[in-house]
Structure 1
Amino acid sequence: MTTASPSIPIQTAPTAAQTKRIIVAAAIGNGLIMYDFTVYSFSAVIIGKLYFPSSNPLSSLLMALATFGAGFLMRPLGAIVIGNLADHKGRKAGLLFSIVLMTLGTGIIAFTPSYASIGVTATVLIVLARLLQGLAAGGEIGAASAMLMELADKNQRCYMVSWRAGSQGASALAGALVGAVTTALLTREAMQDWGWRIPFILGMLVGPVGWYVRRHMSEAGMGAQHRPTVTSVFAQRSRTLWFGILLMAAPTASIYIMVFYMPTYLITTLHLSSTISLLTACLAGAVIFVGNPILARVADRQRRRKPIQYLTLIACIVLTYPAFLVLTHGAGVLLSLFIIGGYAAVALTNGGASAVMMLEAFPRHHRATGMSMIYSFGVTIFGGFSPFIVTWLMGVTGNPMAPAWYLLAALCISLFALIWFPETVEDR
């Protein structure tokens, strides 16, 4: 093995077995992040009652959702710290650090006593846990995506990176299934007393497994001669960063409203049962997991990255309002499942091609930092507080169509950004 710098090793191309292990290592951390976000979203009503007590149930729910969003405020910092670590010391270093932080945050949520037991300390600990999770998530996506893309041949890049996006769907499916099973098997009293902690404990147990897998994976795709700095990313790639952040509006709003917030929306607004609402998230997660690699295969056959982005964005703009109109006018269980699963198939299966388009706009030594910054700022601005915003809007206006208007605004922003995003391919 030779070295280009003291901190970043050059290695030969990984074997097929090493490639599989790296895919698992990248996916398991992303999966843990999305799993924890999923189960928190599904437990928002209970968490609001236990840690943000109020005489008004809506106020408790809003505080729980605001805490969910507070974790996103740490994502830009995580993007800078962990993304730069991954560009400077190697992808493995960044991925190990992020999974430790995520596991710690999940454990705090799993075992923190309620407000009734320890008072305001409980509230502070829940907020701290979400901040740690946000810090971890901020750098995770960029490092994992860059590593997967750098493993692949030019005609397989979208497919490789799609497993990172697909893992989010698998994790949403796992989180929803755990939530659905515990809700179905436990009484309402048991669920509110201790049952809601089970999904978080299970997620915490995944952390050590992910750390072990990442600790023993080979470093791949490195070897840049540069020593990157955050300021150089801003200085040299500002246009790519700004339009990339705006591009994140549509996928971020779609997943956080149609997958993570949808169970709460179906329960509190459309008055469906908890089990049925969780099953819709299971379906959406399954569609994301299966659909991303399939669409990525199609994208890899295309000469350019943008056309498939235009197709999915325009289709979502056309479908969003009618979908919510049907949902809010008494759609039955089967029709609700079809609408949510269909929207997920259109809006949330293009993660591989979209991420590769953004990664290819950065040179190798800026990829992890640049992608992490695009993702974390975009998710913070357009996704993290979206459940809070649409809940507040519905509370103020009494209009259950508020999520549709929010989604349409995000879709139009991304369409505008796609037109101006620099479609260049840097540093193969």
Structure 2
Amino acid sequence: MLTAEQRRAKIGAVFRVSSGNFLEMYDFMVYGYYASYIGKTFFPAESEFASLMLSLATFGAGYLMRPLGALLLGSYIDRKGRRAGLILTLALMAVGTLTIALTPGYAVLGPVAPLLVVIGRLLQGLSAGVELGGVSIYLSEISTPGNRGFYCSWQSASQQVAVMFAALIGVALTMLLPPEEMTRWGWRVPLLIGCLIIPLILFLRRSLQETEEFQHRKHRPSGREVLSIIAANWRLVVVGMMLSIMTTTTFYLITAYTPTFGRQALHLAVQDNLLVTLCVGFSNFLWLPIGGALSDRIGRRPLLLLIPTLALVTAYPAMSWLVAEPTFGKLLMVELWFSFFFGIYNGAMIPLLAEMMPAEVRTAGFSLAFSLATAIFGGFTPAVCTYLIEMTGNRASPGLWLSLAAAISLTAAIAVRRVTKADKQQASVAADAVPAAVGK
């Protein structure tokens, strides 16, 4: 039982470590919300669709850097410590955000402008490749017995605060500025606000204490050891990636893609789309700790089987019902239903992913699995859904994309117990063998 002082210390640690996760998600959401404006500024093309696709492809390109960030920065965190690594990821995110916010448009710099934006996105992606994993592992290692799911849920919950904050700013801007001013300079305001928050979050992160579990660890693996242990447990990484596909796809579908989907496909008012996104962020914030706490009580696997099954049965019918006669109320209902999927599933999946990975490479393994899911599936959700609607003419096709993600994650949930048991046995062998091999 924790004393009052210990409880306050735990709450403070959760707040400080999650603050950087807030900024990481805020910056990513802002780009997704204003993709059409960014496309017109940096990617002028012969059609609005082409301009938007170039902007969304750049949004997705940041995710291609995530696996590299997971290995490089995840290895650094597993060697040097959770605190040092989380400060480094925040610094990289800050540089990427400043680059995008301050780069003049195509009309001023020509082809150099989109190149700089891509570089900024790649830096953001490199940082984000380990940010979520680093925070999740930190929370799992400071959690009290029997509450790991609940503790880990606050990593994702902090992201929902970012979703709501970005949406609120968007609602205010669209009410205050006409569309031409939003295109000219208004979309930069949320990014600049994110830049102003950076010093505060850096201060909070610098006051983090290293986790006791990491401090007590006798062996700190080298970069070569990290790669060897991960290679020996590649099946864990693959299953972890498959488990993560459901959560990454659902999240980007109901947050980053909602303003674009509502405006481009449903022709709803910009304010309505952002208001729906705001409600989704609040709904996610409520469901995540419930999902985490529920997984602590009944186990992770039952929830990981239930939610993908529900998504398979209802995702496409729900989207078909929405697009038949789009309204603000129907969009809100569908998005809140998908929000339930995300919150409960993610609340169980994140702690399981932390528990699956060998202790020596917990951050790198977790981050690699999650970042691969994001790079291959989740991060490109806005671009894929936009393309599917354009090519098929079926505005409900994003429901098929979500159904495919659910099928993949359901397959992984069925297989996870067998694969985890087999690979954890191999992990202990690899961990013992690698130091001896390196010393030869």
Q: TM-score higher than 0.5 here?
A: yes
User: Which of the residues 186, 190, 197 maps onto 1:195?
Assistant: 186
Single out whichever of 346-355 and 40-49 deviates more from structure 2.
346-355
**TM-score, scaled relative to structure 2:** 0.91
User: Which of the residues 218, 223, 230 maps onto 1:225?
Assistant: 218
* 1:325 maps to amino acid: S
* 2:232 paired with 1:236: yes
* Cα offset, 1:147, TM superposition: 0.7
Residue equivalent to 1:257 = 253
**TM-score, scaled relative to structure 1:** 0.93
* 2:367 paired with 1:372: yes
What secondary structure does 1:240 align onto? helix
Residue equivalent to 2:289 = 293
1:139-172 residue CA offsets vs partner (Å, 9 max, x unmatched): 1111111110111123110010000011111111
* Cα offset, 1:96, TM superposition: 0.4
On the 8 A contact 2:292/2:348 being kept in 1, the answer is: yes
1:288-339 residue CA offsets vs partner (Å, 9 max, x unmatched): 112111222222112x320111111111222201210111111321222122
1:344-377 residue CA offsets vs partner (Å, 9 max, x unmatched): 0223343232111111112322211111111111
Residue equivalent to 1:47 = 38
Residue equivalent to 2:106 = 115
Whole-Å Cα distance in 2 between the matches of residues 318 and 343 of structure 1?
A: 12
Aligned runs of 1:21-170 on 2, under 5 Å?
21-170=12-161
Moved over 6 A (4+): none
* 1:186 maps to amino acid: L
Q: Percent of aligned pairs with the same residue?
A: 37
User: Which of the residues 346, 351, 368 maps onto 2:346?
Assistant: 351
Whole-Å Cα distance in 1 between the matches of residues 27 and 413 of structure 2?
A: 30
* Cα offset, 1:408, TM superposition: 0.7
Whole-Å Cα distance in 2 between the matches of residues 388 and 24 of structure 1?
A: 33
Whole-Å Cα distance in 1 between the matches of residues 229 and 388 of structure 2?
A: 37
Whole-Å Cα distance in 2 between the matches of residues 16 and 153 of structure 1?
A: 10
On the 8 A contact 1:21/1:213 being kept in 2, the answer is: no
Residue equivalent to 1:313 = 308
* 2:178 paired with 1:205: no
Whole-Å Cα distance in 1 between the matches of residues 273 and 396 of structure 2?
A: 18
* 2:9 paired with 1:18: yes
Whole-Å Cα distance in 2 between the matches of residues 307 and 367 of structure 1?
A: 24
* 2:64 maps to amino acid: L
* 2:383 maps to amino acid: F
* Cα offset, 1:123, TM superposition: 0.8
Alignment gaps of 5+ in structure 2? 428-440
Larger helix percent: 2
Residue equivalent to 1:327 = 322
Single out whichever of 291-300 and 175-184 deviates more from structure 2.
291-300
Q: CA RMSD in A?
A: 1.7
On the 8 A contact 1:18/1:217 being kept in 2, the answer is: no
1:81-131 residue CA offsets vs partner (Å, 9 max, x unmatched): 111111111101110011011111111111111110111111111101100
On the 8 A contact 1:170/1:288 being kept in 2, the answer is: no
User: Which of the residues 383, 391, 396 maps onto 1:396?
Assistant: 391
Residue equivalent to 1:5 = none
* 2:250 maps to amino acid: S
Residue equivalent to 2:267 = 271
Alignment gaps of 5+ in structure 1? 1-13
Whole-Å Cα distance in 1 between the matches of residues 251 and 400 of structure 2?
A: 15
Whole-Å Cα distance in 1 between the matches of residues 202 and 11 of structure 2?
A: 16
* Cα offset, 1:234, TM superposition: 2.1
What secondary structure does 2:219 align onto? coil
On the 8 A contact 1:255/1:348 being kept in 2, the answer is: no
On the 8 A contact 1:176/1:278 being kept in 2, the answer is: yes
